[in-house]
A and B are shown apart, each in its own frame.
Chain A
Amino acid sequence: DVKVTQSSRYLVKRTGEKVFLECVQDMDHENMFWYRQDPGLGLRLIYFSYDVKMKEKGDIPEGYSVSREKKERFSLILESASTNQTSMYLCASSLGQGIKKLFFGSGTQLSVL
């Protein structure tokens, strides 16, 4: 089974702090994604990556950046955290062409105070 691991289950940060969310997958998947989940809004795509050192903006990239230095690792960075970035963050990976079936991590609940 594919395992997607997110480094923290819960995180509390202060406004203005730089925040790193880490994600690692163990199945050699080419594609990796960062979503945020908010009540009533479903899952919204922040950034995705098709290959090492490649990144593409999703629907809501403002205030975020990403890094993919190794195939198995995809990091989400909040350069200066704000309260409206309080959310559940979900990392996902998938194999090959097209998105289709995603494998998700357990999520990181981030609270920005």
Chain B
Amino acid sequence: DQQVKQNSPSLSVQEGRISILNCDYTNSMFDYFLWYRKYPAEGPTFLISISSIKDKNEDGRFTVFLNKSAKHLSLHIVPSQPGDSAVYFCAAYDYNNNDMRFGAGTRLTVKP
């Protein structure tokens, strides 16, 4: 039972354009959301997060949007760079139950 879904296993984008990675969740108890980035031969590293009381959080080229009513969040990367090529994992956290769930990941390829 996957409570966090990343329906696109892969995404290819041209350098300089916007990358949009999507994530859907089913559990309304989730109240904190995170994105992790994983390069080959490395562990995932924290990228950006958002609390459920917000609908947007921005950090440089990375912006996360949260639509609670649709149970959907997205990560926007603008402009995309070849160094952004990696697997991106969406994660959702339920503070009351101390439960963190990960999506299956989306492999982003940014072409020069």
**Is the Cβ of B46 less than 8 Å from the Cβ of A101?**
yes
Measured as residues with beta carbon below 8 angstroms from the partner, the interface class of chain A is 20 to 34
Q: Of the 9-residue stretches B11-19, B59-67, B72-80, B95-103, which lies at the interface with chain A?
A: B95-103
Within 8 A of B (CB), among A8-43: 9, 35, 39-43
Chain A residues contacting B27 (CB-CB under 8 Å) are: none
Q: List B5-51 residues whose CB lies under 8 Å from chain A.
A: 6, 9, 32, 34, 36, 41-46, 49
A107 to B44, CA, bound (A): 9
State whether B34 touches A42 (Cβ < 8 A): no
Query: Are B43 and A42 touching (Cβ within 8 A)?
Result: no
- B90 → A minimal CB distance (Å): 9
Q: How many chain B residues have a CB neighbour from A under 8 Å?
A: 23
Determine if B49 and A42 form an interchain contact, defined as CB atoms under 8 angstroms apart: no
- Asked if A106 is an interface residue, CB under 8 A from chain B, the answer is yes
Task: Give Cα A102–Cα B32 distance, bound, in whole angstroms.
Answer: 13
Pick the contact of B44: A39, A90, A98 (CB < 8 A). Answer: A90
| Complex-state Cα separation, A84 to B95, whole angstroms | 32
B98 and A99 contact, CB distance less than 8 A: yes
> With a CB–CB cut-off of 8 A, which chain B residues contact A45?
100
